[in-house]
Amino acid sequence: MSEFHQSNRIISGKYLSELRGHVTNLVRPEDFPDPKRTDPQKFYLEFKNRIVPFVNTEIQHLKDSLTQTGNSHLLLLNSTVLVDTVLQAAFNAAVWLYNHTQQKQFLEKNVPIAVIARGGYGREEIYFQSDIAVQIVSQSALTDDEAKKVEQIVKHLEYLFVHQNIFQTSTSSYFVENDLLKKQLNAGKLTDLFPLLE
């Protein structure tokens, strides 16, 4: 990797730390109005109302920085970092909402899913109107209780991140069970592998 690309990664890493700090303070579900009686629709809307102005401000900041520096590689990295940060906040909020509504104490790190960035997002090539695609993968060998947890958390995550037009561009998600994908690939269906390689 060239020195130029390495320095951009360092700068983008610092930007990621700054964003995480801002978003962690901005999106604290326990500070949402009336957290004891959580209506999911009101919760989703409160998340959106808190995150969208921040995202719009950051996008404008990125546009302004591009006109000053002309560093399009850094722009792509920072745009990806912004999406990563919002996606992580949405995931954390989804787990919090699940715990709150189900009276559980499920930790984010124990949720048996992986969220994979696809396409331009996965390649760290997000521009202002780029589509944002994520794949949510779960193993199929879950107990019924685990499967219900995953289903609820994924539903909340999709509502928080995908269905609310946070980035004012096309955002999509695709859910697949890891074991099912493995069986399809073992059966010689290479076409199922191609979306993972985007």
Q: Is 156 helix (H, G, I), strand (E, B) or coil?
A: helix
Q: Convert the pLDDT of each residue in 85-130 to its tens digit.
A: 999 999 999 999 999 988 888 889 989 999 999 988 899 988 878 8
| Residues spanned by the domain of 82 | 3-197
Q: Number of structural domains, the chain?
A: 1
Distance (Å) of CA 33 to CA 40, 80, 94, 122, 129: 12, 30, 16, 35, 32
The pLDDT assigned to 144 comes to: 87
What pTM does this model have? 0.86
How far is it, in rounded angstroms, from Cα 114 to Cα 12?
Answer: 23
Instruction: Tell me: pLDDT of 2 over 90.
Output: no
Q: Convert the pLDDT of each residue in 22-77 to its tens digit.
A: 999 999 998 888 766 778 999 999 999 999 999 999 999 999 998 998 899 999 99
Q: Is 86 helix (H, G, I), strand (E, B) or coil?
A: helix
Query: In the chain, where do the E strands start and end?
Result: 113-118, 132-138, 171-177
CATH number at residue 192: 3.30.460.10
The pLDDT assigned to 93 comes to: 96
The pLDDT assigned to 183 comes to: 57
DSSP characters for 98-147? Answer: HHHHHT----GGG--EEEEEEHHHHTT---TT--EEEEEEE-S---HHHH
Contact 104, 142 (CB under 8 A): no
How far is it, in rounded angstroms, from Cα 4 to Cα 21?
Answer: 26
